[in-house]
Amino acid sequence: MKKFLAFFICTLSMISVLSSCSKEKKYTAMDMYMMATKFDPKVEEVRVTDPTKSLKCSMYPEGCIQNSPRRFKVRLVNMIVVEYHSTKKACEAAKKLDQFYIRNWLFDDVKGEPVLEDFVKRVYDAKNPSTCP
């Protein structure tokens, strides 16, 4: 029993160490939402009932996670938030679209909208990249 317990603890420790070293830091959808509503409780998702107006990954550069693009209303202005598989892909998408990103997320329809630019910079410390890591 002691050997099994020691093996189990050792295995968990190794998994923890390996996963913390190999995984980049990502935000979950819940992380993003909680950060936004903590800053402004009035932030809300804009629900689209017309299927022709729904957002799809095919509208975005490679790396978009299926069904992740969503519209949000911030201070009466809409923006689109898209989750990517990696920070690199989100950065590349932001650079290609001339928009903002943070970690594994792209913010679309933000550039040129002072309210939204201020929001993503203050809440997420988002960047409009000229180069990507």
pLDDT the model gives residue 23? 74
At residue 54 the predicted structure's pLDDT band, cuts being 50, 70 and 90, is very high
Residue 86 predicted with pLDDT over 60: yes
Token pair, residue 18, equals 């390996």
Token pair, residue 97, equals 């679209």
At residue 53 the predicted structure's pLDDT band, cuts being 50, 70 and 90, is confident
Closest to 26 measured CA to CA, from 91, 112, 115? 91
Residue scoring higher pLDDT (51 or 94): 94
Rounded to an integer, what distance in angstroms lies between the CA atom of residue 115 and that of residue 21?
A: 37
Query: pLDDT digit string (tens) for 11-52?
Result: 333 333 344 444 789 999 999 999 999 999 999 999 988 888
